């Protein structure tokens, strides 16, 4: 962690700032919790001190990270750009696959969303094993880690619908920690898309299948604390 602090100080100091104690705590949280849950780093091992990148972490570093994500504010209806939640979003995907495996135990699940360049609107594809009556043979799932008041853009929403259609999937699930717009909700109902909307609903359904609440919902650093402070 001292090496990470030093790297941030090298950026902050020339601008007249120094890394605050809250900033250091936020960095520790990101490394210890977010990056590990996202699959970028191996969990800490006292027998092998230091942090070690996973293969997924190395792939992330070689890819071009998106500086911002465009969403729709459901109160204003306007598109807005916000910092990309790539790491926390990946951690949420890792969590949600646990929910899917618990809710749909008769399916083999493939994590299509690991490669964002080839996901084509669908993060997970589940294929039924055996001949279970009443269950669809295939399910497509898209997962979004959005702020509570944000919805996907029309482009992202249509990309999801098109991805399910092009794969000829029998059922579709859209899970978001944010919201859908009224029009998206109507289209979901018409297309018989199962919508899981909001953190409380995600938590409620996960709990029904024995999966505890997503830990990063409760341990997010306070948005009111700055990473750096004036010298």
Per-residue pLDDT tens digits for 108-145: 999 886 665 566 789 999 999 987 677 899 999 999 99
Write down the pLDDT at residue 229.
61
Write down the pLDDT at residue 66.
55
Q: In the chain, what percentage of residues exceed pLDDT 70?
A: 86
What is the rounded distance in angstroms from the CA atom of residue 162 to the CA atom of residue 167? 8
67 versus 131: which is more confidently predicted? 131
Mean pLDDT, residues 56-60 taken together: 76
- Highest average pLDDT, of 31-40, 111-120, 174-183, comes from 174-183
Strand order through the sheet with 68-73: 79-83, 68-73, 150-152
What is the rounded distance in angstroms from the CA atom of residue 75 to the CA atom of residue 42? 40
pLDDT of residue 206 exceeding 80, the answer is yes
Q: Mind listing the domains of the chain with CATH numbers?
A: 2-64+220-230 (no CATH), 88-218 (3.40.1350.10)
Q: For residue 205, report the phi and psi dihedrals to the nearest 5 degrees.
A: -70, -35
Contact 203, 177 (CB under 8 A): no
What is the rounded distance in angstroms from the CA atom of residue 56 to the CA atom of residue 165? 29
Query: Between the CA of residue 55 and those of 27, 61, 156, 158, 181, what are the distances in Å?
Result: 22, 10, 27, 31, 37
What is the rounded distance in angstroms from the CA atom of residue 9 to the CA atom of residue 228? 9
Local structure of 72: helix, strand or coil: strand
The strand pairing partners of 53, in sequence order, are: 41
What is the rounded distance in angstroms from the CA atom of residue 44 to the CA atom of residue 52? 8
Closest to 129 in 3D by CA, of 104, 102, 160: 104
Write down the pLDDT at residue 183.
95
pLDDT of residue 79 exceeding 80, the answer is yes
User: Secondary structure of 192-203 in the HEC alphabet?
Assistant: CCEEEECHHHHH
Q: For residue 220, report the phi and psi dihedrals to the nearest 5 degrees.
A: -70, 135
């Amino acid at each position: 962690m001292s090496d990470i602090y030093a790297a941030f100080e090298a950026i902050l100091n020339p601008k007249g700032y120094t890394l605050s104690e809250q900033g250091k705590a936020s960095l520790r949280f990101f490394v210890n919790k977010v990056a590990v849950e996202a699959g970028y780093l191996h969990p800490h091992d006292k027998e092998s001190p230091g942090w070690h990148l996973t293969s997924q972490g190395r792939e992330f570093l070689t890819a071009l990270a998106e500086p911002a994500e465009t969403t729709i504010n459901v109160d204003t209806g306007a598109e807005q750009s916000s910092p990309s939640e790539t790491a926390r979003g990946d951690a949420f995907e890792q969590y949600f696959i646990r929910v899917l495996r618990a809710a749909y135990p008769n399916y083999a699940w493939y994590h299509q969303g690991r490669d964002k360049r080839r996901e084509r609107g669908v993060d997970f594809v589940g294929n039924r094993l055996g001949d279970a009556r009443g269950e669809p043979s295939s399910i497509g799932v898209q997962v979004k880690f959005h702020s509570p008041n944000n919805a996907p853009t029309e482009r992202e929403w249509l990309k999801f619908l098109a991805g399910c259609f092009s794969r000829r999937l029998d059922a579709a699930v859209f899970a978001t920690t944010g919201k859908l717009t009224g029009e998206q909700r109507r289209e979901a109902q018409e297309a018989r898309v199962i919508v899981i909307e909001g953190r409380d609903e995600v938590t409620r359904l996960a709990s029904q299948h024995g999966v505890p609440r997503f830990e990063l919902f409760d341990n997010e650093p306070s948005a009111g604390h700055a990473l750096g402070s004036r010298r």
